[in-house]
Amino acid sequence: MSIELETNDLQLLIGLLQHNELMQDDDSRRVLLRNAGLKRVLPLMKVTGSPFVASSNIVSFLSQYGRISYENEALGLFLNGLKPSVGVTEQDAIDQLLLKYRMMDPIAPPGKIEDWKSTSDGPELVEKIFGESTLRPIAFLDRGVQVSRSVAYISVTDGVRRWCGTGFMIAPNLAMTNHHVVSAAALLPGVELRFNYQEDFSGRPQSIKSYRAVPGGAFHASQALDYAILEVGGEPGGEWGFLPVQPRDVRKGDRVNIIQHPNGQPKQISMQNNLVEYVGGNVLQYVTSTNPGSSGSPVFNDGWQVIGLHHAGGLLPEPTTGKRFNRNEGILIQRILADLPAEIRLRVDRAAAQMEVLDGNKIGSV
């Protein structure tokens, strides 16, 4: 079903696009569309011409294309992917369009830490080939499916504003996500976690089950480490499992896997060419595919243990060297654990110990 934009909204959107630096040349436009999750329709689109012409063509095509998935309009994916490259005022305008035309939940905008933001959006990262075996036992896939059950889509509603991200259960009734997804206890009444928001191999949607955060329940967040832990009603960890979080060793060259809801889409996984490039300070940095909306995803090692909390991407500095590289970044899980209040740390440690007793770090139930 197509989206019929009102004239003033159409003019606002084209005006915003044509002045965006990512719309000034054909290559940048293609990168923007691919990163927004529109790779499969890109060959059908005309992205050449002046910024005004290209912007008009892109908006016209996407608004007429309709849904790219069962919950998301093609134009909505594009606008969500555009948000990180515009200012706060423009982000608010985009959010209003997403909500007005029911295109999708807006992604949670990144925080105001400048180091999270890229100053350019160049070509995609070149893959690296390392002389190691990538063979894994077939049980590796089974284990990945098991841990994926604990990962949820998070929707946050605050008055007329609405945004989304990713999170995961770390105890029967405790979830972890980013501070810039759920920044304050005042937001808890509007926080919803959706489990099993995913498609089968044929692209058919699966049955979703939703839970709400507990207003007045346990909550702790840190802007400096960009994490939030919140209590969830109904103990979803009993049905969907929870992931033990404990200090883990991480080294440059390790492989990582990220289960996520990129651009607010159904659950996906990035598990190819994913290598840790840096560990230092509070963070690990890696070359792994993510998109806005992946904020709050668990970063797993090759043994499917949580080693970090994904929170940022772009041209990022290495904390101990100051050098900048085009990478993604997560907060080391041991840094988060060390920052927790005693009462929450006790609950998290008990849950992790329960997993160890049950089946040696496998996902469990209560």
Higher pLDDT: 210 or 295? It is: 210
Which band of pLDDT confidence, cut at 50, 70 and 90, is reported for residue 128? very low
pLDDT of residue 366: 37
Residue 246 has pLDDT above 70, yes or no: yes
Residue 156 has pLDDT above 90, yes or no: yes
Provide the residue type at 118 as one letter.
Answer: S
Token pair for 283: 């963070």
Residue 119 has pLDDT above 70, yes or no: no
Per the CB < 8 A criterion, the answer to whether 200 and 172 are in contact is: no
Q: How far apart are the first and last CA of the chain?
A: 43
- Mean of the pLDDT values across residues 297-310? 94
Pick the CATH number of 113-366 from 2.40.10.120, 1.10.1040.10, 3.30.70.360, 1.10.10.10: 2.40.10.120
Token pair for 333: 């899980």
Q: What angle do CA 92, 186, 190 make, to 5 degrees?
A: 65
Neighbours of 88 (CB within 10 A): 9
pLDDT of residue 213: 98
For 181-238, write each residue's pLDDT tens digit: 999 999 999 999 999 999 888 888 899 999 999 999 999 999 999 999 999 999 999 9
- Beta partners for residue 177, in sequence order: 228
Per the prediction, the chain carries an average pLDDT of 86
Which band of pLDDT confidence, cut at 50, 70 and 90, is reported for residue 249? very high
Which band of pLDDT confidence, cut at 50, 70 and 90, is reported for residue 1? low
Q: How far, in Å, CA of 294 to CA of 196, rounded?
A: 16
Specify the length of the chain in residues: 366
Q: How far, in Å, CA of 166 to CA of 295, rounded?
A: 6
pLDDT of residue 289: 66
- Beta partners for residue 232, in sequence order: 213
Residue 65 has pLDDT above 80, yes or no: yes
Higher pLDDT: 71 or 261? It is: 261
Long-range (24+ apart) CB contacts under 8 A made by 210-215 are 211/236, 213/175, 213/182, 213/188, 213/189, 214/173, 214/188, 215/188, 215/189
Q: How far, in Å, CA of 300 to CA of 243, rounded?
A: 10
Residue 176 has pLDDT above 90, yes or no: yes
Which band of pLDDT confidence, cut at 50, 70 and 90, is reported for residue 359? low
Q: Tokens 């090759």 map to which residue?
A: 302
